[in-house]
Amino acid sequence: MQYVIYLGLVASLVALSKMSPGKVLLVLYLPILLLVPDTFHTSIPGIPGHPSANVAVMIPLFIVTMVAYSRYWRVSVADALVISIGCLMAYSEYTNAGSTEAINMLYGVLFQIIGPYLVARLAIDREGLHVDVAKKVAFILFILALVGTFEFKFGVNPFLVYGERLFPGQGLGWVTTFRYGFARVAGPYAHCILAGMMMAMAYRLSRWLEWGGHWEAKFKSFPNLPWSKGRIISMGILAGSVMTFARGPWLGGLVAAVFVNAGRHVKRKQAFIIGSITLILLAIPGYIAFQTYTDLKPGMEMTMSQETAMYRKTLFEKYYNIALDHAWLGWGRNGWPKVPGMSSVDNYYLLLSLMHGVSTMLLLVTVMLWMSLRLFKKGMSEPVEVNSLAFTFLGIIIAFFVSLVTVYLGEGVVPAFFLLLGWAEGYVQGKGYLGIGTHQNKTQAKRSAYSFRHVIR
C-alpha cells in the first residue's frame, strides 16, 4: 500500500498539464503538504530517497516551475543562503556517512528545502496568489484544529490510525503526550510543538486576511452564525494552538504579535521601539526566573514542567562541546555521540550544529535575520493604511525563530517553513500582496498555464 505515495506524482503531472505551477501549488501541493503526514513514505530499491506524499508532488512541480519561470529569476542573497544550507547539509552527510547517504540527503533537501522555496519564490507573486495561498493555509489549519478536538478529548491521533493501515511499521515514533490531564494535539505533524508552530503560522495569515477583508462575510453553509467567517477561522486556529500546549510556539506567537501589531500602528517607529524595549525588559526577569526555576536543591521534588525545563538546560550543557568538536561539518544525521538518556535534542539550533555543523546552523540563523530585516524595511516603506503582508511574514519568521529553541525542525514543517521563506522573498522582490491583479496579467497567467503542457508530455 505504500506505493500509493506515487499517486501524488501522477496527480502532479496531470495537474501541470492543465494549470500553471502556482495553481498546482495551491490546489494540490499545499493540501497534501499540510494534511498528509511526512512521516509516511515509500521506498524502491535502487532509487535514492524515500519520498513522502509532498515530495512526490514536488518533483514534477519543481522541474516545471524552473522551466517556466527561471528566466524571471533574479538571484538574491536569501536564495544563495537557502541553496547553501541544502548543499552544506548534503556535503556534511557525504563527509560523515559516505556517498549513498549523501545522495539520499541531497534528494531530501532538493525537494523539501530548495524545491518548495523556489516554487513559492517564483510562482506565487508572479501569478498573484498571495491571498489565495494565505486562505488555503489558514482554512486547512482551521479544519485541523476542528479535527484536533477529537485527539484533545480522547488522546488518539486519527492521522496515526489511518497511517498505520496504509504504511505498516511506519510512524511508530509518534507518541501522544499529555499536559494538565489533556492530550497535546499533534495532528499530521507528529509532535505537538511542530503542530503549534504551524498553528502560529496559520493564525498570523488568518489575521492578515481578516484585517484586509479578504474573507467572505459569512460561511455559506452557516449564514446565521453571529461572527464573521474570518473571525471564526482565526479563533478556531487560536483554539488549535491552545490544544497543543506548546509553550515555545506560544511564546514565539506573542513576540510575533508585538511586531505585527507595531507595524499596523499609526506611529510605527515609536511602536517598534516601545515593543522592542518591552521585550528586552521582560526577557531579563524571564531569564532570571528560568534559572531560579531550574536551580533545584538535592532532594527537592520536580514538577513535570520543571523536568522539561531542566532537561533542555542540561541538554545544551552536555551537547555543546560535542557540537564544537565537529563545528564545521557536524557528525552527520545520526553520527554524533549520544549522551545517555538524552537521545531527543529539543533545540534545533543545537541539533543542526550536531548533524551538519555550526556553519549550517549559522546560515539558517542568517537567512532568518536577513529576511526579517528586508521584510521590516519593505513594511516600513508601505503606507500605514496598507494591510502589510511584510509584517505578517516578519511575525511568522520571528515565531519560528523563537520556537526552534524548544523543538527540532522536522516532518512537513520543514518544506512549509522554506516555502514561507520563498513566498516572502518573492513578495519582497515582486509586486506586493495584490499580485498580478490586472486583466492583462491574469490573461497572461492563464495563457502560461497552457504553455507548460509540452514540458511534461
Phi and psi angles of residue 341, each rounded to the nearest 5 degrees, phi first: 80, 5
Residue 453 within any structural domain of the chain: no
Residue 369 within any structural domain of the chain: yes
| Distance set, CA 143 to CA 38, 154, 200, 238, 330 (Å) | 18, 18, 15, 12, 39
Tell me if 441 sits within 8 A of 139, measured CB to CB. Answer: no
Residue 96 within any structural domain of the chain: yes
Which pLDDT score is estimated for 173?
75
Q: Report the C-alpha gap between 16 and 24 in whole angstroms.
A: 7
With b for 16 or more beta-carbon neighbours within 10 A and e for fewer, the 79-104 pattern comes to: bebbbebbbbbbbbbbebbeeebbeb
Tell me if 102 sits within 8 A of 90, measured CB to CB. Answer: yes
Look up residue 224 and give its DSSP letter. Answer: T
Residue 318 within any structural domain of the chain: yes
Q: Report the C-alpha gap between 252 and 1 in whole angstroms.
A: 39
Which pLDDT score is estimated for 201?
97
Which pLDDT score is estimated for 442?
43
Q: Report the C-alpha gap between 432 and 386 in whole angstroms.
A: 11
Show Cβ contacts of residue 209 under 8 Å, excluding neighbours closer than 6 positions: 131, 134, 135, 138, 215, 230
DSSP string computed for 28-75: IIHHHHHHS-TT-B---TTSSS--BHHHHHHHHHHHHHHHHHGGG---
| Distance set, CA 330 to CA 295, 338, 343, 352 (Å) | 31, 14, 16, 8
- Interstrand relation of 178-179 and 182-183 (parallel, antiparallel or unpaired): antiparallel
Which pLDDT score is estimated for 59?
95
Tell me if 29 sits within 8 A of 54, measured CB to CB. Answer: yes
Cell of 167: 504504511
Residue 69 within any structural domain of the chain: no
Q: Report the C-alpha gap between 145 and 241 in whole angstroms.
A: 8
Q: Report the C-alpha gap between 12 and 29 in whole angstroms.
A: 8
Per-residue pLDDT of the chain (457 residues; tens, 9 = 90+): 667 888 999 999 999 999 999 999 999 999 999 999 998 888 776 666 788 999 999 999 999 999 999 999 999 999 999 999 999 999 999 999 888 888 889 988 999 999 999 999 999 999 999 999 999 999 999 999 999 999 999 999 998 877 777 787 787 778 888 888 889 999 999 899 999 999 999 999 999 999 999 999 888 878 778 889 999 999 999 999 999 999 889 999 999 999 999 998 888 999 999 999 988 888 777 666 555 544 444 455 556 666 676 777 788 888 888 998 898 899 998 888 888 878 778 889 999 999 999 999 999 999 999 999 999 999 998 887 778 899 999 999 999 999 998 888 889 999 999 999 999 999 998 866 543 333 334 444 444 444 444 445 4
Residue 10 within any structural domain of the chain: no
Which pLDDT score is estimated for 203?
97
Q: Which residues constitute the domain of residue 228?
A: 76-265+296-430
Write out the H or E segment, with its range, that includes residue 191. none
Total structural domains in the chain?
Answer: 1
Strand partners, 182: 179
Residue 80 within any structural domain of the chain: yes
Residue 238 within any structural domain of the chain: yes
